[in-house]
C-alpha cells in the first residue's frame, strides 16, 4: 500500500501549475493531474478560467496581502522565463482609472506603492492626460494612476506551460486527466479516481481546480463561493493599425453604468489564429450565476454569448472611439469569488488534504505566489512569514 506519490496536485491551471513547480523542487515524488484545454469539445467534464492569451498584471492590489502576492509573483517572472525558455510577461504598464474621481484604492495607493517600490504616476486631469494612452477617453472628473513595468499583462497559457516545464525539469510528473473522486484510505493516504478510469494514490493532496473546486466527490465540505459566467469581447485589430495602439496599457476601469460595471481592457495581442485582438470584459446585469457542475458545463458547451456583445461594444466605443469594432466576437469564461475576498489557501478538516482556490478575478497575476504559499504550507506547515497568519482563511458552506 505504498502510495504512488508524496504529493499530488489536482488542477494544472495557473495556481496548480505554480504549486507543482514549488513542490517538485522541494518534496519527494510529486505529480500534477489536470484536464487539458478542451478546445471546441462539448464533452469535457471541466473547463477553466485561463483559456486566453492575456491577463492584466498590476502590483498594487486591493490591500497589502493582494499587493504582496502580486509583487512576489512578478519577482519570479524573469527566473521562470529563463528556466523554462518561455516568454509570457509583457511589462507595458497598467492604468487604473475611476470614472468618478479618487476612490479608496487611489487613496491607499501611494503607501502600498512606496512599500513595494512600485514605479507609478498619478493622473489628475483626465481629459488632458488619458489621450496619451493610445487614445483612451475618460470623463473629465476621472482620476487614475499608471503603474510601469512589471505591470502590464501576462499570457496565462504560456505561464502555465512555463511552470509545468520547470516542474518537469525538477522531476515532477504531469498527468492529463480529470479527477472525479477522492477517498481516504485506512493508512491516511488518498486514492484518486479519474475520468479515464485510472487510480492514483498519494500521501498528500492539493486541490487547485479553480471555479470547479466545489464539484465532484473531492472536498469533504463545500466552500463558500459565488461562481459566475464571464463574457469578453475580442475585437480584431489589423496589423497595419497596431502602431496606433502601441502606447495603450492594460486598463482596469472602475465605472458603474446601467449595462457595464468594472471594465478591464487589454491592448491588441496575438491569438492562436494569427490575428491580433483587443479584449474588453466587465460585469453586466445579464451575467449568470452557477450552483451546479451541470450549469457550468452547459454554459461552456451550449450557451450563446453573442447577446453580451452590444453592451461591451458600446462601452468600448466610448473608451476608445478610434477603434473599428466591425470584426469582433464574444468568448465565455468562468470566474468565482470567495466569501473573504482573498484566495482560500489551507488544509481541510482531513489531514493531508489541502486546497488553494477562489480566484476573485485577480488570481492570474498572482498565481505564482498563491502556489508558493500553498506549497510552503504543505511542506513546512506554515505560510511565508511576510503574510499575516490568517491571510487566506477558508469559509465553508454551513452543513444542513
Ligand X SMILES: Cc1cc2nc3c(=O)[nH]c(=O)nc-3n(C[C@H](O)[C@H](O)[C@H](O)COP(=O)(O)OP(=O)(O)OC[C@H]3O[C@@H](n4cnc5c(N)ncnc54)[C@H](O)[C@@H]3O)c2cc1C
Residue 128 Cβ vs ligand X, minimum distance, rounded to whole Å:
27
Residue 302 Cβ vs ligand X, minimum distance, rounded to whole Å:
18
Does 92 sit near ligand X (CB under 6 A)? Answer: no
Nearer to ligand X, 101 or 270 (CB): 270
Going by C-alpha positions, the residue among 350, 35, 37 that lies closest to residue 182 is: 350
Does 357 sit near ligand X (CB under 6 A)? Answer: yes
**Residues numbered 46-85 forming contacts with ligand X, rule: CB under 6 A:** 46, 48-50, 55-56
From 14, 143, 248, 269, residue interacting with ligand X (rule: CB under 6 A)? 14
From 225, 333, 345, 355, residue interacting with ligand X (rule: CB under 6 A)? 333
Going by C-alpha positions, the residue among 72, 80, 75 that lies closest to residue 21 is: 80
Dist CA 316 CA 278 (whole Å):
10
Does 144 sit near ligand X (CB under 6 A)? Answer: no
Name the segment binding ligand X (CB under 6 A); options: 85-93, 111-119, 183-191, 210-218. Answer: 210-218
Does 254 sit near ligand X (CB under 6 A)? Answer: no
Residue 387's DSSP bridge partners are none
Does 175 sit near ligand X (CB under 6 A)? Answer: no
Residue nearest ligand X by beta-carbon distance:
13
Nearer to ligand X, 363 or 376 (CB): 363
Nearer to ligand X, 134 or 210 (CB): 210
Residues making up the chain, counted from first to last? 400
Does 13 sit near ligand X (CB under 6 A)? Answer: yes
Dist CA 70 CA 68 (whole Å):
5
Within 10 Å of residue 24's Cβ, how many Cβ atoms?
27
% helix, strand, coil for the chain, step of 5: 30, 30, 40
Q: Per-residue DSSP letters for 151-178?
A: -EEE-HHHHHHHHHHHHHHTT-EEEE--
Does 372 sit near ligand X (CB under 6 A)? Answer: no
Does 150 sit near ligand X (CB under 6 A)? Answer: no
What character string, x for contact with ligand X (CB under 6 A) and - otherwise, covers 99-128? ------------------------------
Residue with cell string 492514483: 200
Nearer to ligand X, 206 or 383 (CB): 206
Going by C-alpha positions, the residue among 180, 233, 188 that lies closest to residue 209 is: 180
Name the segment binding ligand X (CB under 6 A); options: 80-88, 122-130, 162-170, 356-364. Answer: 356-364
From 361, 379, 384, 396, residue interacting with ligand X (rule: CB under 6 A)? 361
Does 11 sit near ligand X (CB under 6 A)? Answer: yes
Does 368 sit near ligand X (CB under 6 A)? Answer: no
**What φ, ψ does residue 4 adopt, rounded to 5°?**
-60, -35
Does 364 sit near ligand X (CB under 6 A)? Answer: yes
Does 157 sit near ligand X (CB under 6 A)? Answer: no
| 214: DSSP letter | T
Name, in order, each residue with C-beta under 8 angstroms of 320's C-beta and a sequence gap of 6 or more.
Answer: 134, 135, 136, 137, 248, 265, 278
From 151, 209, 227, 338, residue interacting with ligand X (rule: CB under 6 A)? 209
Residue 275's Cβ-side half-sphere holds a number of Cα atoms within 13 Å equal to 12
Does 208 sit near ligand X (CB under 6 A)? Answer: yes
Does 27 sit near ligand X (CB under 6 A)? Answer: no
**What φ, ψ does residue 157 adopt, rounded to 5°?**
-65, -40
Nearer to ligand X, 143 or 263 (CB): 263
Name the segment binding ligand X (CB under 6 A); options: 8-16, 86-94, 254-262, 379-387. Answer: 8-16
**131: helix, coil or strand?**
helix
CA distances from 48 to 212, 278, 385 (A): 8, 21, 31
Nearer to ligand X, 128 or 300 (CB): 300
C-alpha cell at 119: 514605479
Dist CA 389 CA 65 (whole Å):
11
Dist CA 219 CA 208 (whole Å):
11
Name, in order, each residue with C-beta under 8 angstroms of 381's C-beta and a sequence gap of 6 or more.
Answer: none
Nearer to ligand X, 101 or 348 (CB): 348
Does 189 sit near ligand X (CB under 6 A)? Answer: no
Distinct helix (H) and strand (E) counts, the chain = 8, 20
Does 152 sit near ligand X (CB under 6 A)? Answer: no
Which residues form the interface with ligand X (CB under 6 A)? 10-16, 33-35, 46, 48-50, 55-56, 178-179, 208-212, 216, 230, 232, 264, 281, 333-335, 357, 359, 361-365, 367
Amino acid at each position: 500500500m505504498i502510495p504512488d506519490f508524496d504529493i499530488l496536485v489536482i488542477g494544472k491551471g495557473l495556481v496548480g501549475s505554480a504549486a507543482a513547480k514549488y513542490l517538485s523542487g522541494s518534496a519527494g515524488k510529486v505529480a500534477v493531474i489536470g484536464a487539458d484545454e478542451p478546445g471546441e469539445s462539448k464533452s469535457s467534464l471541466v473547463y477553466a478560467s485561463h483559456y486566453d492569451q492575456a491577463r492584466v498584471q498590476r502590483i498594487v492590489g486591493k490591500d497589502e496581502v493582494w499587493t504582496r502576492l502580486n509583487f512576489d509573483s512578478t519577482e519570479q517572472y524573469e527566473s521562470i522565463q529563463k528556466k523554462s525558455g518561455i516568454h509570457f510577461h509583457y511589462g507595458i504598464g497598467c492604468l487604473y482609472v475611476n470614472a468618478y474621481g479618487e476612490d479608496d484604492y487611489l487613496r491607499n495607493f501611494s503607501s502600498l506603492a512606496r512599500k513595494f517600490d512600485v514605479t507609478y504616476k498619478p493622473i489628475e486631469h483626465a481629459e488632458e492626460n488619458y489621450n496619451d494612452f493610445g487614445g483612451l477617453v475618460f470623463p473629465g472628473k476621472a482620476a487614475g494612476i499608471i503603474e510601469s513595468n512589471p505591470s502590464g499583462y501576462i499570457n496565462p497559457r504560456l505561464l502555465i506551460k512555463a511552470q509545468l516545464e520547470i516542474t518537469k525539469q525538477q522531476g515532477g510528473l504531469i498527468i492529463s486527466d480529470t479527477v472525479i473522486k477522492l477517498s481516504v484510505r485506512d493508512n491516511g493516504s488518498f486514492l484518486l479516481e479519474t475520468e479515464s478510469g485510472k487510480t492514483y494514490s498519494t500521501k498528500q493532496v492539493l486541490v487547485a481546480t479553480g471555479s470547479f473546486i466545489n464539484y465532484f466527490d473531492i472536498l469533504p465540505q463545500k466552500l463558500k463561493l459565488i461562481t459566475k459566467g464571464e463574457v469578453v469581447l475580442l475585437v480584431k485589430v489589423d496589423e497595419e493599425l497596431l502602431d496606433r495602439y502601441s502606447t495603450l496599457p492594460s486598463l482596469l476601469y472602475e465605472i458603474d453604468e446601467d449595462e457595464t460595471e468594472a471594465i478591464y481592457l487589454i491592448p491588441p495581442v496575438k491569438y492562436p489564429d494569427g490575428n491580433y485582438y483587443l479584449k474588453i470584459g466587465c460585469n453586466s446585469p445579464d451575467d449568470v450565476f452557477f450552483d451546479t457542475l451541470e450549469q457550468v458545463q452547459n454554459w461552456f458547451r451550449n450557451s450563446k454569448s453573442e447577446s453580451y456583445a452590444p453592451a461591451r461594444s458600446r462601452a468600448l466605443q466610448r473608451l476608445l472611439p478610434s477603434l473599428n469594432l466591425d470584426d469582433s466576437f464574444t468568448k465565455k469564461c468562468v470566474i468565482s469569488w470567495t466569501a473573504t475576498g482573498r484566495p482560500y489557501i489551507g488544509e481541510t478538516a482531513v489531514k493531508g488534504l489541502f486546497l488553494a482556490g477562489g480566484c476573485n478575478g485577480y488570481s492570474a497575476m498572482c498565481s505564482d505566489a498563491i502556489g508558493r504559499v500553498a506549497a510552503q504550507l504543505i511542506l513546512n506547515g506554515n505560510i511565508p512569514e511576510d503574510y499575516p497568519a490568517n491571510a487566506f482563511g477558508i469559509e465553508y458552506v454551513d452543513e444542513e
